[in-house]
Structures are given as C-alpha cells and as structure tokens.
Amino acid sequence: MSLLTLCYIIASVTFIIGLKMLSNPATARNGNLIAAAGMTMAIFGTIFLYSYYEEGVDKPLGNYVWIFGGIIVGSIIGTLAAKRVKMTAMPQMVSMFNGMGGACAALISMVEYDHIIHHTNGEGQTGLLIVILLGLIIGSVSFAGSMIAWGKLDGKIKDFAFPGQHIVNILILLAIVGLSVYLAVNFSPDQSYIFYTILALSLIYGLFFVFPIGGADMPVVISLLNSFTGVAAACGGFLYDNKVMLTGGILVGAAGTLLTVLMCRAMNRSLTNVLIGSFGGGKKGVAGSGSKDQGAVKEITLSDAAVVMSYANKVMIVPGYGLAVAQAQHACHELEKLLDSKGVEVKYAIHPVAGRMPGHMNVLLAEADVPYEKLLEMEQANEEFPTTDVVLILGANDVVNPAAKSDPASPIYGMPILDVEQAKTVIVNKRSMKPGYAGIENDLFFRPKTSMLFGDAKKVLQDLATEIKSI
C-alpha cells in the first residue's frame, strides 16, 4: 500500500466520522474539525505524493505556484466570508459555496474534455466521456441553480415563471440528454460545439429549474442542489481515479439526497410536487386562507405576557426566521434561563423546514448554547403541546398555520405543522402582520387562544426578561 493510498483511506474515514458527529450539536464542531483535517491531509497528500505516468516515466504533479496560489486566495476569501456573514445570511452563503462546488466540477469536465481532444482523439474513451458529460451537466445545473437560490434568499431575485415553463424545462432536459448520448456514441474532436451547447443548455436548465420554485420550498431545493454538487464531485473522483474525492462526493450526494427525502416527508409532499407545485411562488396571499377577511387580531402587553409566562408550568418556544433576522437567539436563551430559575419548564419546538435552510433553527440555538436536549422535533413537540401552558412563537409563520390542516384551498394544505393550538395560550411575536415566506395569511393569528406581541424579537425578549425579573 502506497503512502498516498493510506492518506486517502484515513481522509475517507475522517469524512465518515465527521459526518456522524455533525448529527449532534455537542459534537458538531469537533466533527467539522476532524473532517477538515482529513481533507487537508488528502489535499497535501495529492500535491506532494501523487505522480502520473507520461512518456515512460512517473512525473510529480508540479505547478506548485498555481496550486498554492489558488489555495491561498481561496482560503483568504473563504475565511473572511465566513467570519463576516450574519446568521440571517447563512443560507445564502451555503447556496453560494455549494454553487462554487458545482462550478468546479463543471470546470474539471471542461479541462478533461479538452485533454481528450488534444491527447487521445477520443478513441476508446466512451466511458470516460460519459463521466465527463455527467460532471459537466450536474455541476452546471448545481452552479446555476445555487446562484438563483442565493439571489432569491437574499431578496435580489423574485419568483419567475411563465405559462408552460415546466414543459420548456422538460424539453431542455431532453435536449441535454439527447445531445450527450449523441456525443458519447459519435464522438469526434471537431464536435466541440456540441459539448459547449450542452454546457449552455445545462446552465439555462439550472436557472429555469429554480426560478419558479416558491420561497417555502427553498430549504428542500438547497438540500437537493447540495446532493447534485456531491454527485458532480464524485464524477471528478472517477475521472482522476481519486478515491478520496469519490468518497467525499458520494457522502455529500447521499446525505443531501437523504435529507431532501426526509424534508419532503416532513412537508407531506413528494419531491416532484415540490419541484412542480412551487408553493410560496407566484402570486402571494391569494389562495386559500390568505384571501379571507378574518377580522382583527388580539394583542397582549409585555407585562401581561410576562405574568402569563412566569406563572406557567411549561412554556414551549417556537423559533422561526424572525428570530434569525433579529439575531435574538442569545436573548431567547437568557429568557429561557430566567424562566428555568422560576421553576418553569422551557422547551423548543423545531419544525424540519423552519427558516431558510435545513437545520437553520438548530444552528441558531446552538450558537447561543441552548442545551440540545431542550430541542424537540415536530412529532415530540406535538405530543407535548396539550400539556403546555404557553407557546411563544418567535417569527415562525407557515409552520404553525392551521390552514395546512383545515383548508384544502390553501397552498400549504397537507403540510404537517406544529399543533400549537393545543396549548392553553399562544403568544405570537412578529414585527407586523406581513405574511410568511409562503405568502399567505396565517389563520392562527385570529384564533381565540392567540394573542399578538408586536415588535423586534430581540427587543421584545429583552423587555420580557426585564418584566419577568420584576415579578
């Protein structure tokens, strides 16, 4: 066994261990460091130990100036971006970085295609060409789609759709497949224009693929695009016979696919329905419950909310994107500790698709050192709501909307929600009555048990803590 092979085996093992450790916030940081250490070993092992056979001799990789120049520039940009990003913009960063992975896979395919043309004339390279085309298509779709997802999450790009767009998408996809099959079977060096036509169509398909998908479906789309990038990276591993690249790509692709399936199940929808149904897209607030005149909401004062929570036996907090926008996770944790000191049992109800990316709320609360055992998944939380005295909803909207269960005309009908109505009292903190990400009005706000507590989540939580201390 060569030293490079040993490096790859160790790196692959660290990826698996790191991925396992990411499943628990208590070990996630160390898991990330272990996987990063393995990746560092694989990178430097490839740079200094890899050799290729050419002209009868083994040659080292070389090009060290270009390689380390790219590593240094990329490291500086990545470090600065990660340190400066706000928690509210983390989904955008995930989409951006994921898109860069797809772009790299596509660029690798372009380089290897050029190598085939100039060094082998494509003779006996059908299998290799198929892998190159797969990497090109999947990487390009992932890159273009991730950039649109980034723009939509950042508010720079609006939902865009036109009549028959899904048919157009299918036609583009069929054209990509047809041209790829033709090029793989009838390859010749003078047909490069077909290769770059496939590239262009793949980029267009990536754009059209994500454009019409609604805001409420974006966490699923981000997860799906992440799996695409993993598969594209695995194709690069095939091209270079690089075991660690292949392993890493397969792990990312498999994990992303599994997460996508789990999130679709949590929304009670098929992946096809997510990609075609596009709830949260198109016209906002016109379907189902969003178009009904339900009267006025009932408000509650800070002092009344403080009294209700102070004398409760159990309080359940439901975090949402409003908590992230206000960066109120630390204030929320302080309120939780204050209530704990008064003998109140405090837990958090986490919906699988709350926020703008998978696990968004878990990341926010982990940053504030909220104990992991206090976080309840949807099924667990729904079992405890009937024995809960007060539910405090912080910026969550669609994931607590009863229309998902009661209104067949609602765009979110059928999506499992947090059954907060089963609690004795529901307090909803929002900055305004503006609809949630799915763009529809929330029936919950008008129910008898519900009271609205308007204001910025961070300030409201700080003022609540002050009021509770004075009781």
How far is 339 from 372, CA to CA, in rounded Å?
Answer: 17
Q: Where are the beta strands (DSSP E) in 15-55?
A: 51-54
The two tokens of residue 45 are 């092992």
User: φ, ψ for residue 280 (rounded to 5)?
Assistant: 95, -5
159 is catalytic: no
| Alpha helix positions (H), 267-345 | 271-277, 302-310, 321-325, 329-341
The two tokens of residue 9 are 């085996």
Cβ-contact 20, 31 below 8 angstroms? yes
| Single-letter amino acid, residue 392 | L
The two tokens of residue 402 are 């009863």
The two tokens of residue 465 are 């803590």
How far is 465 from 471, CA to CA, in rounded Å?
Answer: 10
| Alpha helix positions (H), 186-285 | 192-210, 218-240, 243-266, 271-277
User: φ, ψ for residue 350 (rounded to 5)?
Assistant: -110, 115
Q: Which residues pair with 428 in a beta bridge?
A: 393, 452
H or E segment and range at residue 44: helix 25-49
User: φ, ψ for residue 415 (rounded to 5)?
Assistant: -80, 125
DSSP sequence for 232-243: HHHHHHHHHT-H
The two tokens of residue 285 are 């607030």
| Alpha helix positions (H), 371-438 | 378-384, 403-406
List, in order, residues 6 or more apart from 368 with CB less than 8 Å away: 329, 330, 332, 333
List, in order, residues 6 or more apart from 176 with CB less than 8 Å away: 137, 198, 201, 202, 205
From 159, 217, 398, 463, the catalytic residue: 398
Cβ-contact 184, 220 below 8 angstroms? no
Residue 393 exposure: Cα atoms within 13 Å on the Cβ side: 30
List, in order, residues 6 or more apart from 414 with CB less than 8 Å away: 268, 269, 404
Residue tagged 């439901």 (tokens): 318
Cα separations (Å) of 340 from 315, 349, 362, 386, 388?
10, 17, 20, 20, 15
Active site residues: 398
